[in-house]
């Protein structure tokens, strides 16, 4: 089915099941331990799995001179050791910038060098420590700031060129009020709860991998290409994933090394990445250095806006798209954005929750506050004046929906913005300096082709099968809600099966496209199934499906009677025409935060948080709220504590575990409020939904930074905002 015209009335609009705050149908499985995550498929492989432990590279750049495995091979329980020397010819998956197995070249620290397979995890761990790898180190590049200064190492991205509208340089030079400031964001880790883990099993030339992967079809393609086997010989299964945030979009070393280990040991093999290998071996959000220039007239209108961003990645990688939101968020006739990539020998930089907009808004939304202060105007009013209803770079293209101003107005009223003291350092609560801040939220709406298979049994049960994944977001539930709404049955009569590459290819989970796209695919399959049912029962194709019955042409019959002669099955997918070219589709929001900063120690505590979101139809307000408050929590971490510290001598992340890499805990996060605007977007999909899981992080860190400034008068432009940076410039309060 192709969606190329705005949807009008359809069965989803009944809203009997869709749009209701529904408990997760997979909740009982998770709380009872019957939801099996990647490492927990103990009974499904044929034969007792052995254990693999990966040896990570001890240098960041260079070559492997030799590997001494003699002691490890003689260790108790060892079944096999696989290195590049005996792995056979390997290809390179198109989704990965780095090779998943080093040899002889080493591209980054903790790149997999070997996997040791043994009868027990303890034996594999012990033997892995006996593998002696000898290296010929080479000089590497690990410092983004240094690379930025060494301009020959900085590259423009041909795939994502600079943008330019009007005469930015001239307009900026002639503007009566200007801002020219640089900001920096650090490398960050996904730090998901479930580690990367896989169990691999070969049956002849057929490979099955139970793994933690957000994009099943991408994963199958990458495994097949890397191992040089046909795609039809690879089956990936990820029915439950314990968090991903983009870190599990692509196949990583655990899956490849489990497959190689299983081949060498001739039995199933389980591999889990140790936390240090997750942070140094897998992808991370790369650091950025951003320069923002804004020029405005005395009547508060932006006349020039420029945003440049520098970030690093391995050779062949891409820059962090931190300028993406600046191309669309505010008006201004003269505009410029540019991204530059420094080739660094650090672990691969890639997608992390709201890639581009999350770090980009960390800078832009501070700059907007700084400009508002220069103009002596309220920060919200400055944003309202510079709102736009059209794409500022392509003015002929309007936004399908844009309620940014409404989000800010509603949030301001709910949060008590009118009581805010514009001058910083004016409000105290005992030893705490109190401030409030806000930031706009923006994330593009993306849709992906997505398919599903729907079955109707003689018992009236509707079964949905799709390779869509659930990374803790509630995919099982919203897919069940969609099928229940379409087929006119209660949720108790819907079964959902996900995360298996033998099912129809879905959108997968990522980029805030998963909920809208995957449910649209289920919608398409249900349309086909409804047609079959109507034909079986001799009713018109527009028959009504309600309460387990089908009605049309003056007749009513039970839904289950249509399958009395055998199961009915329908399969289809939703793909999209060119509506995204005719309309700019985006999601909007506003974040409000109150903080307290200890006037003696500089310790910052968040006191209140509010998010107001306009993101199309909210399919399940309960799970959507969970998505937003989780994203807000990640935004708090990004603002105040999260930073992968780079050893610029050796090229690795020093704090590569959850003892050194700090993330927010319950004590750091107060009660969070979320408001969803009543919005449907018929341009987006037949579901009239968008995405909200990444919108919730966009702007949060800047709102916190702006609140800290309002509390203390100290403007920190280098994240995270730690107490040492505040104390350095904080006035003496008595």
Active-site residues, by number, are 694
Separation of alpha carbons 669 and 162, rounded Å: 38
Separation of alpha carbons 333 and 386, rounded Å: 11
Separation of alpha carbons 329 and 344, rounded Å: 31
Pairing of strands 288-296, 302-313: antiparallel
Sheet with strand 234-237: strands edge to edge: 78-83, 112-118, 50-56, 269-272, 197-203, 206-211, 234-237
Contact 589, 613 (CB under 8 A): yes
Q: What does the angle CA 440 – CA 441 – CA 447 come to, to the nearest 5 degrees?
A: 150
Beta bridge partners of 67: 133
Nearest to 618 by CA among 3, 11, 12, 8: 12
Contact 158, 82 (CB under 8 A): no
Nearest to 634 by CA among 402, 389, 352: 352
Separation of alpha carbons 653 and 286, rounded Å: 12
Beta bridge partners of 442: 588
Separation of alpha carbons 367 and 385, rounded Å: 16
Task: Give the chain's end-to-end CA distance (angstroms, integer).
Answer: 68
What lies within 8 Å, CB to CB, of 147 at 6+ separation is 141, 153, 154, 310, 312, 342, 343, 344
Separation of alpha carbons 485 and 11, rounded Å: 7
> DSSP string of 465-484?
E-----SSS-HHHHHHHHHH
**SS3 of 678-718:** CCCCCCCCCCCECCCCCCCCCCHHHHHHHHHHHHHCCCCCE
Separation of alpha carbons 632 and 679, rounded Å: 21
Contact 503, 466 (CB under 8 A): yes
Nearest to 200 by CA among 190, 191, 192, 209: 209
DSSP code at position 360 = H
Nearest to 414 by CA among 648, 592, 217: 592
Separation of alpha carbons 320 and 340, rounded Å: 9
- How many CA atoms does the CB half-sphere of 686 hold within 13 Å? 27
- Which residue carries 């020029």 as its tokens? 295
Nearest to 321 by CA among 243, 246, 387, 395: 246
């Amino acid at each position: 089915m192709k969606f190329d015209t705005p949807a009008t009335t359809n069965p989803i609009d009944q809203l009997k099941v869709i749009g209701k705050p529904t408990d997760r149908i997979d909740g009982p499985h998770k709380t009872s331990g019957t939801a099996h995550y990647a490492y927990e498929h103990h009974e499904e492989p044929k034969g007792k799995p052995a254990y693999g432990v990966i040896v990570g590279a001890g240098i960041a750049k260079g070559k492997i001179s030799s590997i001494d495995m003699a002691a490890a091979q003689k260790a108790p329980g060892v079944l096999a050791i696989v290195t590049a020397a005996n792995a056979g010819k390997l290809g390179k998956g198109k989704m990965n910038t780095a090779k998943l197995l080093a040899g002889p070249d080493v591209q980054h620290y903790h790149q997999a060098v070997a996997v040791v397979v043994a009868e027990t995890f303890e034996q594999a761990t012990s033997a892995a420590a006996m593998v002696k790898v000898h290296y010929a180190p080479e000089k590497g590049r690990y410092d983004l700031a240094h690379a930025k200064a060494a301009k020959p190492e900085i590259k423009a991205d041909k795939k994502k060129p600079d943008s330019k509208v009007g005469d930015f340089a001239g307009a900026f030079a002639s503007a009566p009020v200007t801002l020219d400031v640089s900001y920096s964001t650090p490398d960050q880790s996904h730090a998901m709860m479930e580690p990367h883990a896989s169990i691999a099993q070969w049956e002849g030339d057929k490979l099955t991998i139970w793994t933690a992967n957000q994009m099943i079809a991408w994963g199958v393609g990458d495994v097949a290409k890397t191992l040089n086997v046909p795609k039809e010989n690879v089956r990936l299964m990820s029915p439950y994933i314990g968090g991903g945030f983009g870190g599990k979009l692509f196949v990583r070393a655990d899956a490849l090394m489990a497959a190689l280990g299983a081949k060498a040991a001739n039995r199933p093999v389980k591999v889990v990445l140790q936390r240090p290998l997750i942070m140094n071996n897998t992808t991370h959000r790369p650091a950025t250095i951003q320069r923002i220039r804004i020029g405005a007239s005395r009547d508060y209108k932006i006349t020039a806006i420029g945003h440049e961003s520098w970030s690093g990645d391995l050779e062949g990688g891409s820059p962090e798209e931190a300028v993406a939101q600046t191309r669309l968020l505010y008006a201004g006739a003269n505009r410029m954005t540019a991204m530059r990539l420094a080739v660094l020998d650090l672990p691969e930089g890639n997608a992390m929750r709201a890639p581009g907009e999350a770090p980009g808004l960390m800078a832009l939304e501070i700059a907007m506050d700084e400009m508002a202060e220069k103009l002596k105007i309220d920060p919200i009013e400055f944003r309202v004046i510079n709102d736009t209803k059209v794409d500022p770079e392509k003015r002929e293209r309007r936004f399908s929906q844009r309620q940014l101003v409404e989000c800010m107005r509603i949030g301001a009223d709910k949060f008590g913005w009118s009581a805010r003291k514009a001058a910083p350092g004016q409000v105290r609560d005992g030893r705490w300096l109190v401030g409030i801040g806000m930031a706009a939220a923006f994330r593009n709406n993306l849709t992906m082709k997505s398919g599903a298979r729907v079955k109707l049994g003689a018992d009236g049960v509707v079964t949905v099968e799709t390779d869509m994944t659930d990374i803790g977001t509630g995919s099982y539930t919203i897919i069940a809600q969609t099928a229940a709404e379409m087929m006119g049955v209660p949720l108790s009569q819907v079964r959902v099966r996900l995360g298996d590459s033998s099912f129809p290819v879905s959108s997968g989970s990522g980029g805030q496209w998963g909920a809208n796209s995957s449910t649209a695919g289920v919608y398409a399959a249900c349309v086909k199934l409804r047609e079959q049912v109507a034909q079986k029962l001799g009713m018109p194709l527009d028959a009504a499906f309600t309460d387990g019955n089908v009605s049309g042409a003056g007749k009513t019959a039970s839904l289950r009677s249509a399958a009395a002669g055998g199961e009915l099955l329908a399969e289809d997918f939703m793909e999209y025409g060119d509506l995204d070219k005719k309309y700019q589709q985006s999601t909007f929001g506003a974040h409000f935060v109150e903080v307290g900063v200890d006037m003696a120690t500089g310790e910052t505590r968040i006191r209140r948080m509010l998010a107001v979101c306009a993101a199309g139809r909210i399919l399940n307000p309960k799970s959507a709220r969970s998505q937003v408050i989780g994203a807000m929590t990640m935004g708090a971490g990004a603002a105040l504590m999260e930073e992968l510290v780079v050893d610029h001598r050796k090229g690795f992340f020093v704090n590569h575990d959850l003892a050194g890499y700090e993330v927010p805990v319950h004590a750091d996060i107060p009660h969070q409020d979320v408001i969803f605007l009543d919005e449907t977007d018929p341009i987006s999909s037949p579901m009239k939904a968008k995405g909200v899981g990444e919108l919730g992080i966009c702007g949060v860190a800047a709102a916190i930074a702006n609140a800290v400034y309002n509390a203390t008068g100290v403007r920190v432009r280098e994240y995270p905002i730690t107490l040492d940076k505040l104390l350095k410039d904080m006035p003496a309060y008595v």
